[in-house]
Every structure is written in structure tokens, then in C-alpha cells.
A = this chain, B = another copy of it.
Amino acid sequence: MSPKPRATDVKERLVEAAIRLLDEGGPEALQARKLAAEVGVSTMAVYTHFGGMTALVDEVARTGFLKLSAWLAEVGETEDPVADIFSLARTYRQAVAEQPQLFAVTFGQSAPGGERATLSDLTTEEGREAAQEGLEAFDHIVRATERAIEAGRFRPADKYQAAAQLWSALHGFVTLEASGHFGAGEQGIDHILIPLGITLAVGLGDTVERAEHSTEAAKAAWRARTRNAGQGGND
């Protein structure tokens, strides 16, 4: 199918190099000339393959969403849906902590995939097949929330609405932590993220005891996962 992968993966290499420059040097390092030098081509490649730097940055943002979705997809499902939600949260937080510059760009863009497909389309009407790929990451939270409701851990509720609450809280924590408001290292997880998760679970109908137990289960699963696979290791 691909008889000549000679040097025709320039487009992909540009995006990869862009993410590398972004993570290493911040947004200021994301320049057409540096990018071209990094890949070993001329700046024209940016225009033949993307049309301009802004479109390339859009592609970088889209790649961030796809990587996040892929990471969340690796979490899988256990018999404890609330623990799965905590595992998704840890994964979401880990992705942003490892590549803060990339996800700053990703979240800095407006609604992914264009201007439509807002969450309100999901929570209010049934135009849900229009769900863009940018909402794939959200779908993982929705499914775990649905299972928590079915298992009786959460009160009966609109799964999209409940998941949007969880996503808001998680995203807020991750964003503020990435901005430096919660200090460095893992302390934000123990001091804020886990208590926040318990608060939300209890508020959605879980008991304090079961919620706390689920945080421990998620922590154990996290340790096992990071031990086996290093950290990340996707792609």
C-alpha cells in the first residue's frame, strides 16, 4: 500500500517536530524556520502541507486531543466504575503534566473540530451523531459515569450532565495546577484532586466510604500501570 515511504512523511514529521519544539521551548520556539531546520526541509513545506503556521498549530492542537483520547482509552474498565473515573482523572492529569505546552495549545483553541459540537448539543438534544473527535475524550468520562449510575453508585441522572460536572472539575484542577497554582510535583493530587473526586462522587450519590475505597483502588491500579509501562509509552 505504501511502496515509497521515501521522504513523503514530511507532514507527520512536521507535526512531531512542532510538538517537540513546543514542549522544549514553549510557544515562542514554534517557528516556521526552526521547524524547517529541525525536519531538514525548507519553510515552504509548512505551506505546501498546511497552508500556514496557524493551520499547523491547529493540527498540533488536534493531535493533542487525539493523544489524550488514546491515553484515556488505555485505562479500560473494571468492576468499580467510580475507581475508573479516578483512573481517567489521573491519566488526564498525567498527560497535561507531562506535556503542559502541548495541552496549553490544545485547550487554547476553541471547540475542537470547528465551531459546532458543543456539549450542550449532547446534554439537551439528540444531535449526538455530530459528536466530533474532540469529544472522544469526554466520551470516556460519560461511559464511566453511565456505569456508575447503573451500578447504583451515583443517583439516577443525565449521564452527560453528570459527566460534564466531572469534566469541569477535572479540567479546572489540571489547568490551575499547570499554571502553577497548586505547587509542583504530586502534592496537588493528594491534597486537592482526590478530595475533589470524593466530594463529587458523594455529591452525585456515592457514600464516603465507597468513594474513598475507589480512590485507593485507582491509586493501586495507577501504581501497577506506571510500574509495567514506565509512564506514557503510547504511540
Chain A residues proximal to chain B, CB less than 8 Å: 104, 107-111, 115, 118-121, 123-124, 161-162, 164-165, 167-173, 175-176, 179-184, 187-188, 191-192, 195-196, 198-204
- Closest residue of chain B to A100, judged by CB? B110
Q: How far is the CB of A1 from chain B (nearest CB, A)?
A: 37
- Closest residue of chain B to A178, judged by CB? B110
Contact A182 B107 (CB under 8 A): no
Contact B111 A180 (CB under 8 A): yes
Contact A199 B192 (CB under 8 A): no
Contact B198 A120 (CB under 8 A): no
Contact A175 B107 (CB under 8 A): yes
Contact A164 B192 (CB under 8 A): yes
A169-B168, A172-B167, A192-B168 known; A187+B110 contact, CB < 8 A: no
Contact B165 A196 (CB under 8 A): yes
- Closest residue of chain B to A181, judged by CB? B119
Main secondary structure of the interface of A (DSSP, over half): helix
Given contacts A161-B192, A168-B172, A169-B196, 16 further A-B contacts (CB under 8 A): A104-B108, A109-B179, A118-B180, A118-B184, A119-B176, A120-B188, A123-B191, A124-B183, A164-B191, A167-B176, A168-B192, A170-B172, A171-B175, A201-B203, A202-B203, A203-B204
- Closest residue of chain B to A109, judged by CB? B179
Task: Report the separation of the CA atoms of residues A188 and B108 in the bound assembly, to the nearest whole angstrom.
Answer: 19
**Residues of B contacting A104 in the complex (Cβ-Cβ under 8 angstroms):** 108
**Residues of B contacting A115 in the complex (Cβ-Cβ under 8 angstroms):** 180
**Residues of B contacting A195 in the complex (Cβ-Cβ under 8 angstroms):** 161-162, 165
Contact A199 B188 (CB under 8 A): no
Q: Which of B107, B111, B123, B183 contacts A120 (CB 8 A)?
A: B183
Contact A123 B192 (CB under 8 A): yes
